[in-house]
Amino acid sequence: MSIDKSQWVEIEEILASWMPCIEFKLGDHKVSIQRISAGEGKTQLAVYLDDHIKGEWFSEEKRPDIINQIWRPRSKAIYAPKEVKSIQKDFGKRDAKKYFPNLHDRQNWCDPMFPKASVLVRQFKKIDGLILVKK
């Protein structure tokens, strides 16, 4: 049974609260969400797959396919715009591409931490086959 609009509103309210604990089922996996400390006076929502966040899942070779759906996609430029301008000014555009072939590339990864409940709910609404187990 899919999750309807009113349930998503309720889920978002629970996740925005102080100590939420919500469980979903996606295929054969249990996906649980809890609020954890991310520094002094800061919390984030952590997404666990079968009660774990494993370090090996951060590399794409050992990552289960489900991680790409439930973790937050992140991206960052390899070089800052200020560095790109400086390199292009020093070398010229043509030589900058020659000596720095990845000058305009981006680094992509998946992050198990979500800053806000609305961000998490927006991503989880798009997942097909997600079943709410426990609120």
CB-CB contact of 123 with 72 (8 Å) = yes
Q: Residue 58 — φ and ψ, nearest 5°? A: -75, -20
pLDDT beyond 70 at 33:
yes
pLDDT beyond 70 at 11:
yes
Predicted pLDDT of residue 62? 83
The Cα-based distances of 121 to 10, 56, 71, 114 in angstroms read 10, 25, 12, 10
Single out the residue of 101, 98, 99, 106 nearest to residue 81, CA to CA. 106
Rg of the chain on CA atoms, in Å: 19
Predicted pLDDT of residue 101? 94
* pLDDT bucket at 48, cuts 50 / 70 / 90: very high
User: How far apart are the C-alpha atoms of 16 and 20, rounded to whole Å?
Assistant: 8
Predicted pLDDT of residue 123? 94
pLDDT 10s digits, 12-28: 999 998 889 899 999 89
Domain limits, the chain: 1-71+112-135, 74-110
What percent of the chain stands above pLDDT 70?
Answer: 99
pLDDT 10s digits, 85-133: 999 999 999 999 999 999 999 999 999 999 999 999 999 999 988 889 8
β-sheet bridge partners, residue 31: 24, 49
Q: What is the mean pLDDT of the chain?
A: 91
Predicted pLDDT of residue 1? 56
Task: Collect all residues with Cβ–Cβ distance below 8 Å to 31 and sequence separation of at least 6.
Answer: 23, 24, 25, 47, 48, 49, 66, 70, 130
